Chains A and B, each alone.
Chain A
């Protein structure tokens, strides 16, 4: 792999393709992931896990170059010191307790026993699994197994954390705790790459999304930016005001406003517009008139779920 793709603070994919024989994994992916939380979104079989395996060096690209914070998988010690990977599969080396799993993982990372002990305690505390650490993993519930995998992935203080479906099997409480942890790690400057089907929840913590389907990158970037790029789908805006019907009739007179729907509580209106800039300009004008008191304006469909629906669709084929 050449060094020209290396960037010290980003995960870089340059024209990366991966084929498994004749089966396409991902095709010509060029991607640059900065620190923060990045969510991989795509239907089953879209290439998310392939992208993650490529990032972690578990599979080699058929063509193109990948670097993670300027490191290449060939330099295994430095590379895996920087990367933590939590696979989606509920699988563990047989016969280990939660403690042994995390402790031995740290020993494999090259920590001495003292450091491994300290970091194991820290990681288990962080995922709140300290009490069950001595029990065999085989006796854990699905949520506990998910947590112990997460503990193993974060225990060695990686700078890049790659989490494949980390919320699967977690109850709402544990999901909320995990999301808080991810958010905290992202804010601290860690690179978090998460794939998840629970879009509503990851949407809350994501700095950016990468949409992928059929091995092809569909879109990437900040969720709002991506939404604005989808120009063929009118944007939906929720406006909280004292006269929603009047506002709807005024806005509907604009020819790029294509849909209006009153909010269930009667205190707002959802409006769809094909030209968001002109829409906001008109809204400013109406607000300035003073006839309608506008309390709040918020985009209603610039979340990961909406982008997924618009760009990939419910059948998983990119539109």
Chain B
């Protein structure tokens, strides 16, 4: 057979900007995450504490309602940095549970199904692929962390006299920065571990283990060596210290255990670099060694 007609016409229409392709992958990821009823259940569950915090703000700003509902209680409720710190902590740990459930669905499935060669033979780089999945998870976690926290902050600012907002604006900044920092770490950690474990349930366990096992090891190190630096392996403690400082809340840790902020940030950055390296090593289009 010979080639006798060159009348094949490739597509010459317009193409969308590159970020749109990352958005398609995010949409893929979000659709995959929401396809599970457990995801929906966890999401609803993670919003319940916010209802309680909302009621708290309402009662704090309505003495009459407080008197009617909390009969016999003569104390006043103070909505301050400590209140929002508790809210942020609650939501952040719920975000960890959501990450452990959702992150494996975003990456492990693609690896288990050998779908990467298909996805990466599109104008999407490995970085674009990971960014798409990252954004899907980040948006999901945002909806249960900084977005509702800021909404409740806004409600408190609306319900209280104007000077409250001006005096406590730093809390809003702390809520946003602290939550974004935490969910960024969670997203990278979740995606990195999911990329190394094809089995979703094992990946879920690995995410919890990656947070709590080093914390235990760090506590043992600190106790044996009588140093506070072992707590640099304790992600929950590091984040609590960081949030408390960002929101300007009262410290709950003894001063001798308090780690310097630059050390915490350096540790978080180093962890993120390690997780990014794990992703880089694992997210490959290659399907077989030879064939």
Contacts and interface: CB of A to CB of B under 8 A. Distances in A.
Contacts of B3: 34-36, 186-187, 189, 207
Given A92-B113, A93-B119, A87 B287 contact: yes
Contact of A111 (B4, B13, B125): B13
Nearest to B22: A108
Contacts of B117: 53, 58, 85, 87, 89, 91
Contacts of B2: 36, 207
A80 B6 CA distance: 21
Interface in A80-122: 80-83, 85, 87-89, 91-95, 104-105, 107-112, 115, 119
Given A187-B3, A187-B4, A95 B115 contact: no
B122 A108 contact: yes
A105 B5 contact: no
A76 B1 contact: no
Interface string B252-291: 0000000000000000000000000000000001111111
Interface stretch (B24-32, B162-170, B191-199, B218-226): B24-32
Interface stretch (A151-159, A234-242, A269-277): A151-159
A59 B285 contact: yes
Nearest to B286: A59
A108 B8 contact: no
B18 A80 contact: no
Most A-side CB within 10 Å, residue of B15, B18, B114: B15
B68 interface: no
B84 to A, nearest CB: 38
Contacts of A185: 8
Contact of A88 (B14, B21, B291): B291
B10 A108 contact: no
B120 interface: yes
B15 A58 contact: no
A79 B118 contact: no
A105 to B, nearest CB: 7
B36 to A, nearest CB: 10
A8 to B, nearest CB: 13
Given A23-B289, A93-B28, A188 B115 contact: no
Interface string B71-111: 00000000000000000000000000000000000000110
Interface string A46-89: 11111001001111000000000000000011011111010111
Contacts of A188: 5-8
A129 interface: no
Given A157-B11, A188-B6, A56 B121 contact: yes
Interface string A118-159: 010000000000000000000000000000010010001111
13 contacts: A36-B1, A57-B121, A58-B121, A83-B121, A87-B287, A94-B109, A94-B110, A109-B21, A110-B15, A110-B21, A112-B14, A183-B1, A206-B1
Given A46-B290, A77-B15, A189-B6, 14 more contacts: A45-B291, A47-B291, A53-B117, A53-B286, A57-B121, A58-B285, A85-B117, A93-B115, A109-B15, A112-B13, A119-B11, A159-B10, A188-B6, A188-B7
- Which 9 pairs between the two chains have the least Cβ-Cβ distance? A110-B15, A49-B291, A189-B6, A188-B8, A91-B114, A58-B285, A157-B11, A108-B122, A85-B121
Interface of B: 1-11, 13-18, 20-21, 24-25, 28, 31-32, 35, 109-110, 113-115, 117-125, 285-291
